[in-house]
Amino acid sequence: FAGLSDISISQDIPVEGEITIPMTSHIREFDSSTLNESVQNTIMRDLKAVGKKFMHVLYPRKSNTLLRDWDLWGPLILCVTLALMLQRSSVDSEKDGGPQFAEVFVIVWFGAVTITLNSKLLGGNISFFQSLCVLGYCILPLTVAMLVCRLVLLAEQGPINFMVRLFVVIVMFTWSIVASTAFLADSQPPNRKALAIYPVFLFYFVISWMILTFTPQ
C-alpha cells in the first residue's frame, strides 16, 4: 500500500477553465438610453449591423456573428429588392406566367420557414429566427446575380447573353450555398449535415431558376 499514499494531483495540471454563458446579450428593453436617442442613431446602428452581416456573407468564414445577433432587416431588404426586380411589367397579361412580387415573397419566406423546421426536426440546435436570418442573408449573392443579369439583358439577346447569365447565376448560387453551409453546418449533428443542406440547395436552386429565366418584356 505504500504506493497508494502518493496519490495526489500534480501541481502542473491546471484545474481551472472558463465558463462562458452563451449569448449574454443584455436586455436592451430596459436600457432607457436607446429609447431617448435620435431616430438617425437608431437607423444608422441597425444599418451598420446589417452591413456588417452582408460583409460576413460575402466573405464566408466559420463565424458566429450571424447567429449571435440575428436580425431580419437584412433578409427583408434583400427579399423586397429581389421581388421588385423580378416583377414582370405586366402590360402583356397573356404571357403572365412569371413570378410576381407576392409570389417571390411567399417563396422566400415559406421556403426559409420550411428549411428551418426541417433542420430543427432533424435535431439541429439552432433557433427558428437564427436560421431565418442566415437563410435570408445568404440570398445576397443571388440578388447581386439578379442585378448583373438585368444589366446584361440590356445588351442584345442571344446564346452568348444566356451563357454569361448562366455562368453568373451558377457562381452566385454556389456562393450562397457555401455561405449558408458555413453558418448552418455547425448546428446540425455531424452525420446529418447532408440531410439539412439538401433543402437549402433546392431553395436556392428555385430562386436561381427564377433569376435565370427572367426576361423583361
Partner 1 sequence: MATIAAPAGGARSGAGPEWGGFEENIQGGGSAVIDMENMDDTSGSSFEDMGELHQRLREEEVDADAAAAEEEDGEFLGMKGFKGQLSRQVADQMWQAGKRQASRAFSLYANIDILRPYFDVEPAQVRSRLLESMIPIKMVNFPQKIAGELYGPLMLVFTLVAILLHGMKTSDTIIREGTLMGTAIGTCFGYWLGVSSFIYFLAYLCNAQITMLQMLALLGYGLFGHCIVLFITYNIHLHALFYLFWLLVGGLSTLRMVAVLVSRTVGPTQRLLLCGTLAALHMLFLLYLHFAYHKVVEGILDTLEGPNIPPMQRVPRDIPAALPAARLPATVLNATAKAVMVTLQSH
Q: Measured between alpha carbons, how far is 124 from 189 in angstroms, rounded to an integer?
A: 6
**Per rule CB under 8 A, count of chain residues that contact partner 1:** 47
Collapsed DSSP state (helix, strand, coil) of residue 157 = coil
CB 176 within 8 A of CB 138: yes
| Cβ partners under 8 Å of residue 37, min gap 6 | none
Q: 91 — alpha (psi -120 to 50), left (phi > 0) or beta?
A: alpha
CB 217 within 8 A of CB 91: yes
Q: Is 27 in the site for partner 1 (CB under 8 A)?
A: yes
Which stretch, 7-15, 20-28, 135-143, 174-182, contacts partner 1 (CB under 8 A)? 20-28
Q: 158 — alpha (psi -120 to 50), left (phi > 0) or beta?
A: left
CB 104 within 8 A of CB 210: yes
Q: Is 130 in the site for partner 1 (CB under 8 A)?
A: yes
The nearest distance, CB 35 to partner 1, in angstroms, is: 13
Q: Is 30 in the site for partner 1 (CB under 8 A)?
A: yes
Which stretch, 36-44, 52-60, 178-186, 199-207, contacts partner 1 (CB under 8 A)? 199-207
Which stretch, 3-11, 36-44, 89-97, 134-142, contacts partner 1 (CB under 8 A)? 89-97
The nearest distance, CB 62 to partner 1, in angstroms, is: 20
* Binding residues vs partner 1 (CB under 8 A): 21-25, 27, 29-30, 70, 94-95, 97-100, 103, 107, 117-118, 120-123, 125, 127-130, 157-159, 161-162, 165, 191-192, 194-195, 198-199, 202, 205-206, 209, 212-213, 215
